[in-house]
Structure 1
C-alpha cells in the first residue's frame, strides 16, 4: 500500500498539470469494452473490466501472456514452469492446481472453456492474440456459470488489404519462438492464417517445452445483411513438469526437479510431463433481420488427446466437446435515449474417457482405473441496456443448468449414474452515471455460480466425488472512472465485496494425490485501481516523442469463513495463494527513429501457501525491460528488439503448489534472463 501511495504522490503534480492544460492536448484513442454485444466507451461502462490491446501486448515478451495479464488489477497469472499456467481473477485459483477453472474464456465470441469447466489456455500462442478483455468477478451472466470472471480473446487481425508477418526470437535457457502469418482481404472475403513454434529447455531440470500452433480466422460477407465467420486452431503442446520443492531444496538447488523420496520416485525419473493435442473450431452466422435487429448463431466443437505421466500414475484422456451459442438483438434509438435487448441461449456437452496406469519411467504400465464422464451445461440469458443522457444502466439474467453422467469400467464396474444440480439464476444489475465531463460513478450487484469441473469430480485420486457441490455468491461493488480531455489521464478505481459460499478447495492425500472439498465460504473485500498518464504526450518534434506512465494496484483482503477441516478450524485465515498487495508500474519512452524503451516493475507481497496459514511465500520485486527499434519503408516495417526479465535477480516462485504434502510448495522461477528478436511486417493498405 505504501508503494502505491508513493507512486501516486509522485504522479499527482503531473495529473494536475494534465487537467489544467487539457485544452491544448491532442486527443488520443479511446478504449472501448466489447463484452456486452456492442462497443462501449470504458468511461461510461458499468462493468469492472480491463482491456489489454495489441499495443500493450507488443511491449511484452511475445512468448508468454504472464507479464501482460498481470498488469490488470485483480488478475493474477502464474507460471510454475514453461507451459504450466494458472489464471485467477480476484482470488479464484483455490481450485486450480494448474490451468483455468471457475472462469469462462471465449475466443472470437466462442467458448474455449469446455462443458466440464476446464480451459487449456496454455494451448494458445501469445504472439497470435490481438486483444484481451477481462471481466472481473461474476460480472457477466450472459456468459453463463462462473464465479471468478470472463476472459474474451480476439485473434490477431488488421484492416490491411494484404499483410505478411514474421517474427523470430531467442533467449536464455534454450528459448526459441517463431511466428508467421498472412492476411488477405477481398471484396466479400477475408482470410487470416497464423502459425507459431516455441521451444525452451527451461530453467529447471525436467522443464522443457515444445509447442506447434496454427490458427485461422476467416469471414465471408455473403450478402449486404449477412456474414459467416470461421475460427479454428490446432495446438500440439508438450511440456515437462519438474514438480514442487521444499524451501530447503529450493535454497540448495533451485534448478533441480522434485527429487525422489523413500516411497516415491522423482519427477525426472518418472518423466513427468503433459502432452496435449487439441483441435478447436467454430462457425458463426450473423444476419440483420431488419434495420434494428440481428440474429447470431454459432456452432463449435473440439477434440483433445491428453497424456500426463506423473509421479504416482500415468493418465490418458480422450475428450470431445460440441456446443452452440445463439442470440437475437433488438435496438431502439430515440432523440434523447436508446435501449438494446438481447435474448439468447448457449449449450455444450463434453465427454471425457479417462484411464490411469502405473507410471514406469514415463511409460504406462498396469492399469489402475478407467472411467467415463460426460458433462452437460446450458443457460438461457437476457440482457437489457438503457442509456438516457448521463445515465447508463444494464440488467441481465441467466438461468443455468448443469448435470453430468459417469460410469466406471475398472477396477470396479459401475453402470451409468447421473448427478443433476438445481437450476440456478444469475442476475446482474449495473449502473453508471456521468457526474461531470470525464468523470463517471458506477455500481453493480451480481451473483456468481460455478459447478465443480470434471477434473475436480474425478481428480488424481481416481475417485468420483459425487458429494462435491457448486460454489455461489453475491458480489457488490462501486467505483469511479476519471478521464481527462484528450485521454491523456485515465484513473479507474473500484471497491468490492464478494461473499462466496461452498468454495471449492484443493487438498492432497498422503500419496500426493489431489481431491477437492467444499470449504464453507469466503469473505472477499478488495480494492483495484488503474492509472494511465501521458507524462509527455505523443509528438513528432522533440527528442522525447512520448512518455506514458502506468500503474495498477490490487488490495485483496480475502478471508475464509466457516471452514472446518477435521480438527482444524481455518475460519478467519487469509485465502490460500492470494497476495494481499500487488503493485505493477511501468514507463514507456518513445524516441526519434522509432526507438522505444519499456520498463516494468511488479511488487507482489507475501502469500499463504496452505489453508492453515503456517507457511508463506516471500514477497518479491520483478523488473523487466524491453528496447525495440523499428524501421519503416512505405507500408513495410522491420523491427529489432532486445529484452531482459528479472533484472534484480530475485529468487522467487511465480507458481506455488498450494497445500502441498511434505511442504513441497515452491516452483523456482528463472533468475535474470535475456531475449532478442527480429520481426517484419509487409502490408498493402
Structure 2
C-alpha cells in the first residue's frame, strides 16, 4: 500500500504538471538567511544551512516541533513521550539520552543554551517560533562550544504588516490533546510588541504519558532613535510531563502502550509517579547601535532561572539553575565596486549555578536526602569573523574563536567537600568557508571547521550522583563540500552536501544495573555523511485553475558513522555503527492548493533500523510514517478571517519507537510512539 501511495502521489504531480497551464508571472520570494551576522541568499551560503519558515511550521503537527524538524536532512528529533524532546544534528544524539546537548540554540539575539550545556527546547511552545534556521556541523568559531551544530530560533513578527493583529488557534485531537494559543501584535510609531500565550495538554498514547504546558512570551522593539533600537524578550514556561519509561522487546510486543512495570524491588513508573516538573523563566535585552553607515555595535544581556524536579524510578532529583550572560560584538562593513566585505569582533560569556539534590522517591514524594552538590559552570569565548564578496561571484568567510570553559563544585551531603575547580585548556576554533557562483543558478561551496564541546553539568554529575572530574571535552575537524542549484524564480531548488567529521573523545552514556547513569569518553568517531534536499514548485501560485499551487519536496540523509579506537572495557568496538543513528532517512512531502479555499499537505518519513547498543547487538526496527493535513481558508465570521483544519498522524498505523533508550540497563530500550491519531481545529485572524 505504501508503494502504491507513493506512485499515486508521483503520478498525480506529473499529471497536474502536464494539464495545468503555468502562471509564470508570479515569482516566488527569494529565501534570505542570516546565519553569520549579515543577510545573504540561501543560494550563496557557505555552509549547510536550512530554514523552516512560518508556512512550513503551519503545515506540520501543531503540538510538537518533531515533524517539522525531521524534514531537514541531517537532523533528527525524537519525542520519547509528549513533551520529552531529544534533538541531534549529524549523530550528536549519542550523548543526549534525555535532552539536547552539544547543539547550541539561540532564541532571537540570546543563547537559550545555558553555560552548563543544557537547552530546554521543550519549554517553548510551537507558537513561540516564527522561523527556525539550522546550521549543520561544528559552528564553534562564532557560537561557542558545540560539536553538532546550531539552531537559531526567531520569534514571531506579528504586528509588522499592520498596526494591530490578533490570532487565536484552538486544536483538539486524539489521546486527549487540547491546545490553544493566542497572539497579539501592536505597533505605535517607534514601538512594537508581540505577545504569545499558549496552553497545551495531552493524555498521551502510553499509560502514564500525560503532559501539560502553560506558556507566555513577550517580545518588544523600540526604535528610540534613527540609528538605534532596543529589543527585549521574555518568556515563562510551566511544563509537566509523565515519563512512562522504556520497555523490553517482550513487553513492547505484548502491549506497546504499557508504562514500565515493576521488577523485583524496583517499583513501576506509575507507582513512583515518574515525571518532569520544569518551570523556566527567561529574559533578555539587546541594543543595536548603527554608529554610521559602515559601523554598528550590538550588545545583549540575558538571564534565566529553571526549577527542575524529576521523580524517577529510583530517586527524586531536584535542580535549581540560575544563568547570567552577555554577548556583544562590533561590525564594520565596506562596499566597493568589486568587493563587499564585513568584519566582526565580539565575545560571549555566561555562568550557570546549579544546586543539585537527590532524595529517595516515595511514591512520587521526595524522601530522605541522599546527595547534595553545588556546581558552577563558566563559558567564555571571543570570536572574530571576516567575509568578503568578490564581484558577487566568490564569497569567502574566515572566522575563529578562543573558547575557555571551567566548572567548580562542592558537596554538602553525604560528605562535605570544599569547593574545587576544574578548568580545560583554551581551545582555538577556526572555520574557513567559501562559495562560488558558477552561473546564476548554481553555486559550489566548501568549508573546514573545528568543533569543541565540553561535558555538560548533567554529564559531569549524572544520576549516579558522582562528580566525574575525569570526563573530557570532545572535539574534532569537519570537512564539507556541497552544491546548490536554484532555478530562476526559485521554482526548483537542489542542495547536496557531503562531509567527513572526525570526532575525538566522544562522550557516551553508560547505565548501571540500578538504573543510574554515568558518562565516559569513548575514543572517537568517523562520520561520513551525505545530505540532499530537493524542492520544486510544479504549479506556481495562480487563480485561474482548480489547482492553484503544487509543491513537492524531499530530503535524504545517508549516515555512515562508526566508532574509532573505542574499547568498552576489554571489548574493541571500533568500526561499529554509531548508536542511535539510522543509516538512511527519507522525508518527502506534497503540498497542494485547491481553488482559493482548500489546501492539502501529505508527508512521508522513512527511517532505517537504528542500533541501540554500542556493540550493535540490538536494533530498533525500520519504520514508515505518513501524516496529512487539510485546511479550508478564506472563511469569515463578521468580516474576521477564519481557517478550519484537520489532520492525521501515523496514517499507516505503524508500530515504531520514537526516542529509544540507548545502552539501557535490563534491555529497556523501547518507547512506543502513538498509533494512528487525528486532530482538528480552527484559527481566527484579525488585522487592522
Write the distance in 2 (CA, Å) between the matches of 1:320 and 1:146. 21
1:170-189 to 2 correspondences below 5 Å: 170-189=172-191
Pairwise CA distance, 1:251: 1.0
Pairwise CA distance, 1:637: 2.1
Pairwise CA distance, 1:40: 0.8
Write the distance in 2 (CA, Å) between the matches of 1:77 and 1:304. 23
Cross-structure match for 2:630: 627
Q: Secondary structure, in 3 states, of the residue corresponding to 2:44? A: coil
Cross-structure match for 2:597: 594
1:280-319 to 2 correspondences below 5 Å: 280-319=282-321
1:126-141 to 2 correspondences below 5 Å: 126-139=126-139, 141=141
Aligned partner of 1:434 among 429, 433, 437: 437
- 21-30 vs 228-237, which moves further: 21-30
Cross-structure match for 2:476: 473
1:595-610 to 2 correspondences below 5 Å: 595-610=598-613
Q: Secondary structure, in 3 states, of the residue corresponding to 1:404? A: strand
Pairwise CA distance, 1:61: 1.6
Write the distance in 2 (CA, Å) between the matches of 1:368 and 1:65. 37
Pairwise CA distance, 1:291: 1.8
- 24-33 vs 187-196, which moves further: 24-33
Cross-structure match for 1:263: 265
1:572-587 to 2 correspondences below 5 Å: 572-587=575-590
CA contact (8 A) 2:114 2:352 kept: yes
Instruction: Determine whether 1:208 maps to 2:215.
Output: no
1:610-625 to 2 correspondences below 5 Å: 610-625=613-628
CA contact (8 A) 1:23 1:485 kept: no
Instruction: Determine whether 1:89 maps to 2:89.
Output: yes
Write the distance in 1 (CA, Å) between the matches of 2:57 and 2:87. 17
Pairwise CA distance, 1:428: 0.3
Pairwise CA distance, 1:616: 0.2
Aligned partner of 1:559 among 559, 562, 565: 562
CA contact (8 A) 1:265 1:311 kept: yes
Instruction: Determine whether 1:379 maps to 2:381.
Output: yes
- 206-215 vs 133-142, which moves further: 133-142
Pairwise CA distance, 1:565: 1.1
Instruction: Determine whether 1:120 maps to 2:123.
Output: no
Change beyond 3 A, Cα 1:680–1:22 = closer
1:12-161 to 2 correspondences below 5 Å: 24=24, 26-139=26-139, 141-158=141-158, 159=160, 160-161=162-163
- 284-293 vs 373-382, which moves further: 284-293
Per the normalisation by structure 2, the TM-score is 0.96
Q: Secondary structure, in 3 states, of the residue corresponding to 1:43? A: helix
Write the distance in 1 (CA, Å) between the matches of 2:229 and 2:130. 21
Instruction: Determine whether 1:656 maps to 2:660.
Output: yes
Cross-structure match for 1:272: 274
CA contact (8 A) 1:47 1:139 kept: no
Give the unaligned 5+ runs of structure 1.
Answer: none
Q: Secondary structure, in 3 states, of the residue corresponding to 1:545? A: strand
Pairwise CA distance, 1:163: 0.2
Write the distance in 2 (CA, Å) between the matches of 1:636 and 1:539. 24
Pairwise CA distance, 1:594: 2.1
1:4-15 to 2 correspondences below 5 Å: none
Instruction: Determine whether 1:501 maps to 2:504.
Output: yes
Give the unaligned 5+ runs of structure 2.
Answer: none
CA contact (8 A) 2:324 2:350 kept: yes
Change beyond 3 A, Cα 1:22–1:338 = farther
Write the distance in 1 (CA, Å) between the matches of 2:450 and 2:265. 46
Pairwise CA distance, 1:10: 6.4
The alignment yields a C-alpha RMSD, in angstroms, of 1.9
1:390-429 to 2 correspondences below 5 Å: 390-429=393-432
Write the distance in 2 (CA, Å) between the matches of 1:40 and 1:280. 30
Pairwise CA distance, 1:593: 3.2
CA contact (8 A) 2:549 2:594 kept: yes
Deviations 1:334-376 (A, max 9, x none): 0121000000000000000000000000001111100000000
Q: Secondary structure, in 3 states, of the residue corresponding to 2:58? A: helix
Deviations 1:9-37 (A, max 9, x none): 969x97xx99xx99946321111221111
Pairwise CA distance, 1:567: 2.0
Q: Secondary structure, in 3 states, of the residue corresponding to 2:43? A: coil
Per the normalisation by structure 1, the TM-score is 0.97
CA contact (8 A) 1:138 1:446 kept: yes
Cross-structure match for 1:681: 685
CA contact (8 A) 2:401 2:429 kept: yes
Pairwise CA distance, 1:297: 0.6
Cross-structure match for 1:637: 641
CA contact (8 A) 2:548 2:596 kept: no
Q: Secondary structure, in 3 states, of the residue corresponding to 1:116? A: coil
CA contact (8 A) 1:48 1:139 kept: no
Write the distance in 2 (CA, Å) between the matches of 1:405 and 1:128. 34
Write the distance in 2 (CA, Å) between the matches of 1:471 and 1:549. 39
Write the distance in 2 (CA, Å) between the matches of 1:140 and 1:629. 44
Write the distance in 2 (CA, Å) between the matches of 1:217 and 1:301. 15
Write the distance in 2 (CA, Å) between the matches of 1:622 and 1:646. 5
Write the distance in 2 (CA, Å) between the matches of 1:22 and 1:488. 12
Instruction: Determine whether 1:363 maps to 2:365.
Output: yes
Q: Secondary structure, in 3 states, of the residue corresponding to 2:684? A: strand
Write the distance in 2 (CA, Å) between the matches of 1:246 and 1:555. 28
Paired residues in the alignment total: 677
CA contact (8 A) 2:134 2:151 kept: yes
